[in-house]
Amino acid sequence: MTPEDLKRFALLTEFSDADREALAELLEEKRVAKGRRIFSEGTESEGLVLVVSGRARVESRRSADSGVLEAGSALGALSLIALGQRESTIFAVTECNVLILPRTAYRRLADDYPRTACRLMEAIVDELTGLIRSGLDLLAL
């Protein structure tokens, strides 16, 4: 995965080339076979997961709803700073390639490239703000 490839993730579109390069150094690549879990509900959340290729299904015991994630999706971003358990299980519908930024690597990013870590956190907060607004809009109906 090159820094240029990271542009396809909405979470990282505002990153500079230098920011993407710093982040790319810390990402761990993982191939997940069709039908296998990417992560499981109730397990300790340990970092950001970026879906590079493939399709994945989201399921949760808390909700009857499920969803499908495509390449370019990011999940688990809050686990970079908040300890806790995963809220859902993610299964690979097809073979998936994912990139993982563990919490420990994010801390290294914050130490070595504080501007990049700050930009990542700003992008996460921006994404969360959009989700909260959407939820509030649904409540207003």
**For residue 117, is pLDDT > 70?**
yes
The pLDDT confidence band at residue 26, using thresholds 50, 70 and 90, is: very high
Is residue 103 within 8 Å of 74, Cβ to Cβ? no
Q: What does the pLDDT average to over 85-94?
A: 90
Neighbours of 7 (CB within 10 A): 14
Q: What does the pLDDT average to over 88-110?
A: 95
Is residue 65 within 8 Å of 111, Cβ to Cβ? no
With 0-12 / 13-18 / 19 or more C-beta atoms within 10 angstroms meaning exposed / middle / buried, residue 65 is exposed
Domains and CATH numbers, the chain: 3-102+113-140 (2.60.120.10)
Digit-coded pLDDT (tens) for 61-77: 877 667 888 999 998 88
**For residue 36, is pLDDT > 90?**
yes
Is residue 119 within 8 Å of 65, Cβ to Cβ? no
Residue 100 CA, distance from chain mean position? 8
Mean pLDDT, the chain, integer: 89
